[in-house]
Structure 1
């Protein structure tokens, strides 16, 4: 409620002041001004305002404003000055009544109709004002020339306002679209990380299941072989206890996995992405990463495969790890590229950079879990599982990730084309 009163006050002020930017086509007191444009724009932009209420308040405020101004500037008595400006109130009342009767707010999706209604409202308001002035003793001729001038100015003011409104709305929609796209990219990167965690949790669950089965088999074997004494019986009970505890661990892991899976499904993009869009998403994210690290890196993306896929998260996980590694490998300035090609039924993903490259003695170990050559300024090593993630996730697509010898540093991942056409699933 408070905000609506503030908006009403602002429109009254703006209409009054811009109303002084005027021209008098017929001489004397009748004017064309920008005040009308402010009033009309305020009504279609601020949708909490009611046209008739706004028209009445704007008209009354305008009467007081112009009367005060006339009295101050010309030394005219208040009653005479007020009588001079009363017809202006009629203009806003007629204009507001027509906007209310035509239900302007429900037609904002059709700009041409809004412009037409505004033109008719402006035209009718001016006719009402001229008729009131004539009734108060003026002598304005309502002939064809006068009506044509009124219609021309009404059209210009109305469609100027509609054009400005649509221009601002388009800009607003574009900004909103950019924000939504940024949100989608952020969401995709987060979900790709969740996907990785879910993938390895599911892998751990399979291992837990195997350990549980082995523990229970050991219990049955000890139970069968116990002959005498308490040692075998104690061992069998211990084996059974271990199996039960591992089984509980598996149940806990299943619950965690179910929560992760539910979260991923809730936050899914719900659409397919082109490989071009997917590559752009990863490059944009790492462009920001490079800026954060204070590095000047030029990113190149080239995709000659016109294909869309549902399997977004594992692909983003792989590419994001590889490109982030390339960014970290470059010292201060460099180039990073991602290329996608189709060759003999295989999709080839190339991630390259012109950094220092991988040392020959490290090439045989870079895909091993925990192996790393990266250390922070304090000398702490990284986890060394990034490339292992990439290697294992590539296997989801029946693919293979390899490091190509030579410079520039180039990782190539090859996978069957048919794998990208399948539904995504952990």
Structure 2
């Protein structure tokens, strides 16, 4: 089962994998030899790091094995054409440590979970530096064991310096190349998520408009019967008024149908993926709301914590749910604050927790926050928000067979907590199966 999944992933990413298997070994041939032996410092490692950062669906160890094998084949082939006489075993013994380097690099890249820190360049830099040092020391130790090449403390100092310079140089390039592109992609995904949400609201109003039209027509018929039987012209006039209102609602329904049709076409032509990795979705929400907070001139630190989130889920449903809650937190915080987002998988359930240290929600209002049109922001801050966000979140969560909870720690609702701690916490529990089905 696992083997079949690996083969599928390799097929889906075959162009990137092929590029990696070609470019990394070739880049390794442009090198310097700081210790005047077979140990090389080349452009191969930065390029390999780049591919590990980009090809996230394939396990880093598998990428390491692919590159390690490609490096071994290339270097043995070069020896075959350039060495007279050619000694196959000597060539393998000389170059196998370089292959092991890439496998160990991939292993420790995975163990360090570097891809979890996409927004923290310094963390990635130091983790990447540590991974490179471990892999380089492993290669040097293996060379010393196989060929009795020297291995000393001053060499370790050089390796640390090289790893530091190379990793932070690579990070600068990666972040400068991808920053603008990432912002554009995030904005596109968020826009499509908002369109998805608007489409759901319009479909709901379409249903209500249809019901009101039918009820209006039925009321018109009843009033006409009563008016005709009693001979009261005023009742008949009221019946005509009801029919006029029903016709106006019917016109609204037809307009909504046209808008829904246009939105459906836009969503069907969307360029963003239908499914997205859960932790990547979390990063999109963080980036979008960090930008939103800056736009509102607020100093808000948004942190993300993920656990067992290496699965691909329906993008727009979950994105719209989480983003609604996080943007509510951004709006609730006055000037400075903190928002914590936690995404966790526990067996067959996904749990999303959004906590903020804003002003909180009064106990008397807590039971009403999921009502359509109800908003504490309108009452407390006089902001013209419609109050549809939380009602939408609750309805969508229930459709997916999940549940939503809200707690207030400290402040105006009494729950066990430290006296100086004040947080509003929303927790969503959703079944994994429904999200995977989309």
Normalised by the length of structure 2, the TM-score is 0.51
Q: Deviations over 1:217-237 (max 9, x none)?
A: 234445556347473665555
Q: How many residue pairs align between the two structures? A: 255
Q: Structure 2 matches for 1:352-391, cutoff 5 A? A: 352-374=355-377, 379-380=382-383, 382-391=385-394
Q: Structure 2 matches for 1:174-253, cutoff 5 A? A: 177-222=178-223, 226-227=228-229, 229=231, 231=233, 237-253=240-256
After superposing the two structures, state which structure 1 stretch, 182-191 or 261-270, moved more.
Answer: 261-270
Structure 2 alignment gaps of length 5 or more? 1-73, 75-170, 410-421
Q: Deviations over 1:324-374 (max 9, x none)?
A: 232344455443221122346322111112344333333223223344343
Q: Tell me, in whole angstroms, the C-alpha distance in 1 between the residues paired with 2:232 and 2:187.
A: 60
2:404 corresponds in structure 1 to 401
1:307 corresponds in structure 2 to 311
Decide whether the 8 Å contact of 1:287 with 1:299 is kept in 2: no
Report the CA distance between 1:184 and its aligned residue: 1.6
Q: Tell me, in whole angstroms, the C-alpha distance in 2 between the residues paired with 1:335 and 1:297.
A: 5
Report the CA distance between 1:381 and its aligned residue: 5.3
Residues 307 and 380 (structure 1 numbering): CA distance in 2 closer, same or farther, change over 3 Å?
closer
Q: Tell me, in whole angstroms, the C-alpha distance in 2 between the residues paired with 1:355 and 1:239.
A: 46
Q: Tell me, in whole angstroms, the C-alpha distance in 1 between the residues paired with 2:334 and 2:224.
A: 63
Q: Tell me, in whole angstroms, the C-alpha distance in 1 between the residues paired with 2:284 and 2:174.
A: 21
1:346 corresponds in structure 2 to 349
Decide whether the 8 Å contact of 1:350 with 1:412 is kept in 2: yes
Decide whether the 8 Å contact of 2:355 with 2:426 is kept in 1: yes
Report the CA distance between 1:238 and its aligned residue: 4.7
1:269 is paired with a residue whose SS is coil
Residue 283 of structure 1, aligned match among 269, 286, 296:
286
Q: Tell me, in whole angstroms, the C-alpha distance in 2 between the residues paired with 1:353 and 1:246.
A: 41
Residues 237 and 286 (structure 1 numbering): CA distance in 2 closer, same or farther, change over 3 Å?
closer
2:90 corresponds in structure 1 to none
Q: Tell me, in whole angstroms, the C-alpha distance in 2 between the residues paired with 1:331 and 1:246.
A: 40
2:310 is paired with a residue whose SS is coil
1:263 corresponds in structure 2 to 266
Q: Deviations over 1:37-91 (max 9, x none)?
A: xxxxxxxxxxxxxxxxxxxxxxxxxxxxxxxxxxxxxxxxxxxxxxxxxxxxxxx
Residue 339 of structure 2, aligned match among 336, 339, 345:
336
Report the CA distance between 1:175 and its aligned residue: 5.1
Residues 416 and 227 (structure 1 numbering): CA distance in 2 closer, same or farther, change over 3 Å?
same
Report the CA distance between 1:255 and its aligned residue: 0.6
Decide whether the 8 Å contact of 1:295 with 1:331 is kept in 2: no
Residues 296 and 236 (structure 1 numbering): CA distance in 2 closer, same or farther, change over 3 Å?
closer
Decide whether the 8 Å contact of 1:323 with 1:351 is kept in 2: yes
Report the CA distance between 1:213 and its aligned residue: 1.2
Q: Deviations over 1:87-108 (max 9, x none)?
A: xxxxxxxxxxxxxxxxxxxxxx
Residues 214 and 331 (structure 1 numbering): CA distance in 2 closer, same or farther, change over 3 Å?
closer
Residues 277 and 212 (structure 1 numbering): CA distance in 2 closer, same or farther, change over 3 Å?
same
Q: Tell me, in whole angstroms, the C-alpha distance in 1 between the residues paired with 2:403 and 2:285.
A: 20
Decide whether the 8 Å contact of 1:336 with 1:351 is kept in 2: yes
Decide whether the 8 Å contact of 1:394 with 1:401 is kept in 2: yes
Q: Tell me, in whole angstroms, the C-alpha distance in 2 between the residues paired with 1:393 and 1:173.
A: 37
Structure 1 alignment gaps of length 5 or more? 1-111, 113-169
1:202 is paired with a residue whose SS is helix
Report the CA distance between 1:208 and its aligned residue: 0.8
Report the CA distance between 1:395 and its aligned residue: 2.9
Decide whether the 8 Å contact of 1:335 with 1:353 is kept in 2: yes
2:309 is paired with a residue whose SS is coil
2:434 corresponds in structure 1 to 419
Decide whether the 8 Å contact of 2:333 with 2:359 is kept in 1: yes
Q: Tell me, in whole angstroms, the C-alpha distance in 1 between the residues paired with 2:302 and 2:172.
A: 29
Higher Rg of the two aligned structures: 1
1:325 corresponds in structure 2 to 328
Q: Tell me, in whole angstroms, the C-alpha distance in 2 between the residues paired with 1:270 and 1:410.
A: 30
2:377 is paired with a residue whose SS is coil
Residues 210 and 191 (structure 1 numbering): CA distance in 2 closer, same or farther, change over 3 Å?
same
2:405 is paired with a residue whose SS is strand
